[in-house]
Structure 1
Amino acid sequence: MANRTIKVQNQSTKNDAVITELPAACADERAAVEFMEKQRWGGFPACPHCGDIDVYQMKNLNTGQRQANYRWRCHGCKQQFSVRVGTVFEDSRIPLRHWCYAFWRASTSKKGVSALEIKRQTSLSYKSALFMLHRIQFAMQDVHTTMNKLSGDVEVDEVYIGGKPRFKLFGKSAPRKDKPAVVALVERGGCVHAQPVANVTGKTLKDVIRKNVEISARILTDELQAYSGLEKEFAGGHETVCHPRGEYARGDVTTNTVEGFFSIVRRGLDGIYHSVSKEYLPLYLNEFSFRYDFRNLDDGERTRLAIRRANGKRLTYKEQIE
C-alpha cells in the first residue's frame, strides 16, 4: 500500500510540472524548445535519422551557448536535427512557443479551441493558426488495430452532422446529401472510435463495427434496421432500444453513452468551430475522440500525450485534403 501511495504522489508531481512549465514555454522560444525536447525524448534524445542516442547539442564556439536554431548532431550518421524533425511541426516556420500554446489549448479545452482564438492569442495569421490546429488534430489520431479493438459493451450510433431529430422516426435513414454522416462506437468505460461514413446502410455500418470491435463484445444500438443481424456475428449478442416508442433504457441496454459523446461533438462543432467541411471532418473527430479517450487524465498529462503523439507523424497539404 505504501508503494502505491508513493507512485500516485510522484505522478501528481510530474503532471504538476507540465502545467507549471507550459506558461513559460508558451512565452519564450528557448523554454518552448527545451519543453518540447523533454516531452518528446524524456531526457534521452535520439537521432530521428538513424536512432542513435550518441548525440550532442550544437553550440556557438564563442559563447558556449546553444545555437539559435537549437540543433543537435549525431555522432553515428553525422546528420543534424532538431526536435521538430519527424513530427507534425517539421519544416514549419511557426515558433515552437505557439505550437506549445496550441497543443495545450487543444488538449485541455472540453469543446476545443478555434483557429481564430489561436490567432488572437499568438498574433499569427488565421491561415497559420488553422495550419497548426489541423496538424495537432492529425497528431491526436490513434490507429485502431487488432490489438486495441473495442470490447465488452459497445454502444453504436450514427448522426448527420448539422442536426438529427431528438426522436428518430422511421424515415431516419433517408439520405441527407447536405450533411455528412458520422458513426461512433463507444466502449463503456473505455474509448471511442468515430469516423465519417458515405452512408448509413447496413453494409457500411457493419463493416465499421467488424473492423473496430472484438467478436466477443455485446453490441447496443437503437432500432435502425441497418444494424439487424449483428447478434449472429458477436458472441455477446446485439440488443436495441426503440426510441420511437419512447424507450431510451431497458436495464443496462441503452445508447446514452454514445449519444453523450455526440452531444459533446455537436456542442464543439456548433459553438467553437461553427462550420467544418466534409474534407476536414475526420481531423476534428480525431480531436474530440482524443479528449474523450483520455478524459480521466489531468490537463498536463493529456497535453504531454498529445505532444508525444506528434512524433513520427507528418501531414502535407496534399494528404490533408485527400
Structure 2
Amino acid sequence: MKKIITLIILSVIVFSCTKTSEATAKPDAPPKTLVTVAFPSDTVQLNNIITLNATSTYLLKSDVKANSTGYITKMTIKLADHVGKGSVLFGLQTKEARALGNTINQLDKSFRFNGATTVTSPATGFVAMLNHQIGDYVQDGEVLATITDASSFGFVVDVPYEYLQTIKNKGSLPITLPDNTILQGKIAKVMPAVDAVSQTVKVLLQVSNNNIPENLIGTISFSKTSAYGLSVPKMAVVSDEIQSSFWVMKLINDTTAIKTAIKKGIETDQYIQIKSGDLTTKDRVIISGNFGLNDTATVKIQKP
C-alpha cells in the first residue's frame, strides 16, 4: 500500500514540473501598440512660408514750437485731434506786448494793440503730445506740442537680409492685424542699414487706411520656396533629442513597423518633404502612436 501511495505522489510531482517547464518555454506575446497610418503623397504643393512681425509707426513726428516768448492765450487742439497742415493751433502774446497793449488801449482804444501771434501746424496728422495749456508762459523755440506726420505712417518690418530680395520682388504684401483684418501694404522704403546683431533690414510698408493706432503689431507672410515632391504628414516624422536624425515608422505588414531613416526637405504646417529615404506612395507610415517605438515594433492598426 505504501508503494502505491509513493508512486502516486511521484506522478503528481513529475506532472507539475512538466507544466511549469511548458509555461516557462512559452513566454507571453509582446503587447501591440495601437497606431493610425497614412500614405505618403507626391501631389501636395509644399510652400516654405516665412512669417514676420510688422509694427505700425510714424517715421516722422513734427514739433510745434513757440515763435516768441510770452503767454499762451489760445489753444485750439486736444490730445489725439486730427489737424491739417497750416491750421492754427496756439495763440501767443508777449509779456511786454500785454503790458504795453493794455496801456495804449487805455489811452486810445482805436489802436486795438494786443501784440498776439499764432502758431500753426507744420504737418497733417494727429496730436501725439501736448506740453502746455492756456496761461502758461513759454520761451521762444519751446516745444508746445508734437504732431505725427500722416504721410509717414506705415508698418515697419525687420526683414532678415537673406529674404530682402524676395520682399522687393513682391512689391506689396498683405498685413494681418490682430482682429484678422487684412491690409495691403506697399513697400515704400528700405532702410540703408543692417542691424549688426540680428542682420535684419527695416522695411516700411505703407497702407491706405491710417486710422490705426501706433505700435500695433501685425504679421506678414510670404512664400520663400515652393515645390512638389514626396511628402508625409508632419506627425509621421520622429527625431532624436538633438534633432540630428529623422525617421518614420513604416509598416511592412499589418502588425510590424520598422524604423526608416529619412532626410527632410521643405516643411509646412501639415507636411514634410522627403528628400531621401526608402519610401513610396504605396507604403504606410504611422502618424499616431509612433513616438518611442523601437525598430521592428509590433503594432495594431486602429480603425478610424
TM-score normalized by the length of structure 1: 0.19
Greater C-alpha Rg: 2
Higher relative contact order (CA 8 A, sep 6+): 2
Structure number with the higher strand fraction is: 2
